[in-house]
Structure 1
Amino acid sequence: MGLDVRISVKSTRTKYSTVVAALMVLPILSGCANGDSVVESAGAESRDQIVVAADASVESSVLAEVYSTVLSSSGLSARVESVGGGRTQSLEALDAARVTLVPEFTGALLDHYDPSSPARKADDVFEALSRSLPEGLSVSDYAMAEDRAVLALDTAYAQSLGAKTIEAFAPSCAAATPLVSVRFVEDGAVEQLAEGAECVFAGVDQATPADVPGAQVFGTTTLSALAQSGAVTVLADSNHVLAAQNVVPLFRAGALGDSAVKALSVVAGELSTTDLAAMIEQVRTGKASASEVARTWWDTRQ
């Protein structure tokens, strides 16, 4: 394989864009293009069809359709390919060149490639991820949309403690057995809380809130229905105890041209956690398909 070059430049939103290219370096565009400029820039760019992987999760399916929709709107040929399973299956498909792009989360992807990394802040996690990627893979700008682990309290309980932050609640952790989601555990949040905030629980319970009426402490993620419901108080994490998990596209180096990279930067600039959570909830409740919510979301931005 030819020369592998890694470049990091800071965008106007104080984030870093890293593109790893084999034999050539793709131009990096700082800032966020608007929808019109993306469409106009496609021109006569000639590339193979961009295949976006979607695993079995609703989150992956929605993100895949979002990327595919924006890429297609830029005049490129793009489609979603269901690979089933989870991250392992998506990365295997990417390695085998069956897909071109995999929607991911920065912290989870960093943990996959460098599980010993201490990075927690969004920019730090992204930089560490960029350095950890194997030859032939690349990432571009991460989005503000995230699915970061969060610690949440029953609102009345939070008020009784006067706790609004993880640090304020930490002394109460020893007496708590939070209900935690699978993702919360997989992301290493229990260990991160113990290490970064001296919050060590009496135990954890992976039951759902519906199974344990009266539960007061929850470990979940920002995209969960619980965190978005307003029924709980999500504790602030100003010290970045829990690792960032921002949406990021992982793709094969050299597989995307200028117009595709611009389209990815549009998603980075436009997609919010609230938007993504709303789309996911519509799909989970059967109100719309992943492709429908992605199309509607993009249409509102034209």
Structure 2
Amino acid sequence: MRSSLTAACVLALACALSACGAGGSSSQPDADSRTHDVTTSADGQLPSKPGSVVVGSADFPEAEILAYLYAGAMKANGVKTEVHADIGERTAYMAALKDGSIGAVPEYSGALLNYLSPDNEARAPKDVYAPLRSAASRQDLSVTDYATAQDADTITVTKETAEKYHLSSIGDLKPIAGKLKLGAPAPLQTVSYGVPALEKVYGVAFKQFVSLSPSGTITQTALRNGTVDAADIFSTDPAISHYGFVSLEDTQHIFAAQNVVPVFRRDVLTEPMARASDAVSARLDTAALRQLVTEVADGGDPATVASHWLKQNGLDSPVS
């Protein structure tokens, strides 16, 4: 689901190295930076006929929801769509995209850029998107607009801790971090964007690092019962809303942006597909995606949950 530290640990254990990414922890993209880099027809335009596309997904609920969101919006715009969910880890669904088994898949900007261009060190949303477009194009792929929704690492605290120390951003921890314990999977202590970046970029040095198993439930429990005072939690984790956690804004972007972004085979993408996908991305923020994930975690069917959201947002009919 995600490319960052916690995801790497979780998905390695689960054999699902996929990509994902609270609203407060995600930087908002600049609208004028989100222009298409797509294959055009002879007259310089995307094909105007709706066409058809198989939309794939990684093998976790959030990825399924996203596949149904984008496929549903495209279908409402005349595109013949099919969803092939639960393909597996990134290497599996990217191979399916390459061989034509699928024509599109919802991805996460930082994770996809790292996959296509491993040496790129971009972090902020628009800084990630520009090289992502180029890297995708070199492999005969196209990305449409990205959403403000991110599934990214966050440094998260309880509401009580945030209020006690007046915390809203990671930098606010600097004066008091020496009294607090940070909980996260062990690699966060050494990876460049983890504890070293907290200290170097923000001057935040925690009193103690508590190594936690890469499980959302374990981390949430540790934060709630005071075993740790801050924790590395993904921005779409339902626990953030459920328990009123506060994800601190990463103003210096030590964690790479993980904006939701559809990626297409260049020979598949049509103007109606791009228009419909952009409409979804324009309305999907982190809080909304977290709510959709929560609904599925509570027993909802991903396709049904996605369909309901599209209807609520007026995307179950053609967009202009």
The TM-score bracket by the shorter chain reads 0.7 to 0.9
Unaligned runs of 5+ in 2: 1-28, 315-320
Instruction: Give the CA RMSD over aligned residues.
Output: 3.0
| 1:217 CA drift (Å) | 0.7
Change in CA separation of 1:189 and 1:76 when aligned onto 2, cut-off 3 Å: same
Instruction: Answer yes or no: is 1:160 the counterpart of 2:164.
Output: yes
Match of 1:297 among 301, 305, 309: 309
Q: Name the SS of the counterpart of 1:210 in structure 2.
A: helix
Name the residue aligned to 1:21.
39
- Aligned equivalent of 1:150: 154
Give the partner amino acid of 1:205: L
Counterpart of 1:254?
267
> Equivalences for 1:1-302 in 2 at 5 Å?
13-21=31-39, 27=45, 45=49, 47=51, 49-133=52-136, 134-170=138-174, 172-173=176-177, 176-180=180-184, 189-190=193-194, 192-199=197-204, 202-203=208-209, 204-206=211-213, 207-210=218-221, 213-214=225-226, 215-229=228-242, 231-286=244-299, 288-302=300-314
Cα distance, 1:172 vs structure 2: 4.7
TM-superposition CA deviations, 1:43-100 (whole Å, max 9, x none): xx263x3100122111100000001100111011001102432222211111111000
Shift of 1:264: 1.1
- Using the TM superposition, give the Cα deviation of residue 208 of structure 1 relative to its aligned residue in structure 2, in angstroms: 2.5
Question: Aligned residues: percent identity?
Answer: 24
- Name segments (4+ residues, structure 1) moved above 6 Å: 181-185
Query: Contact 1:149 / 1:184 at 8 angstroms: preserved in 2?
Result: no
Query: What CA distance in whole angstroms lies between the structure 1 residues aligned with 2:79 and 2:58?
Result: 22
Bigger relative CO (Cα 8 Å, ≥ 6 apart)? 2
| Partner secondary structure for residue 37 of structure 2 | strand
TM-score when scaled to structure 1?
0.80
Q: Secondary structure at the match of 1:128?
A: helix
Contact 2:50-2:80 at 8 Å conserved across structures? no
Relative to structure 2, which stretch is displaced further, 195-204 or 219-228?
Answer: 195-204
Verify the 8 A CA contact 1:71 1:78 in the aligned structure 2.
yes
> How far off is 1:139 after superposition?
0.5
- Per-residue CA deviations over 1:128-185 (Å, capped at 9, x if unaligned) read 2112223211101101211122111223233333332211214555665423379989
Aligned 8 A contact 1:102 1:249 in 2 = yes
1:177-203, CA deviations, whole angstroms, 9 ceiling, x for partnerless residues?
423379989x97526535532445543
Q: Which deviates more from structure 2 when the two are superposed, residues 277-286 or residues 204-213? A: 204-213
Seen in structure 2, the aligned counterparts of structure 1 residues 228 and 107 have a Cα distance that, compared at 3 Å, is farther
User: Whole-Å Cα distance in 1 between the matches of residues 250 and 263 of structure 2?
Assistant: 27
Residues in 2 aligned to 1:291 and 1:183: alpha-carbon distance in whole angstroms: 35
Residues 192, 242 of structure 1: 8 Å contact kept: no
Is 1:121–1:240's contact at 8 Å kept on the other side of the alignment? yes
Contact 2:153/2:255 (8 A) holds in 1: yes
TM-score of the aligned structures, taking structure 2 as reference length: 0.76
Cα distance change, pair 183–284 in 1 and its aligned pair in 2 (3 A): farther
Determine if contact 1:17/1:139 at 8 Å carries over to the other structure: no
Cα 1:25–1:252 change in 2 (3 A) is: farther
| SS class of match (1:27) | coil
Deviation larger for 151-160 or 288-297? 151-160
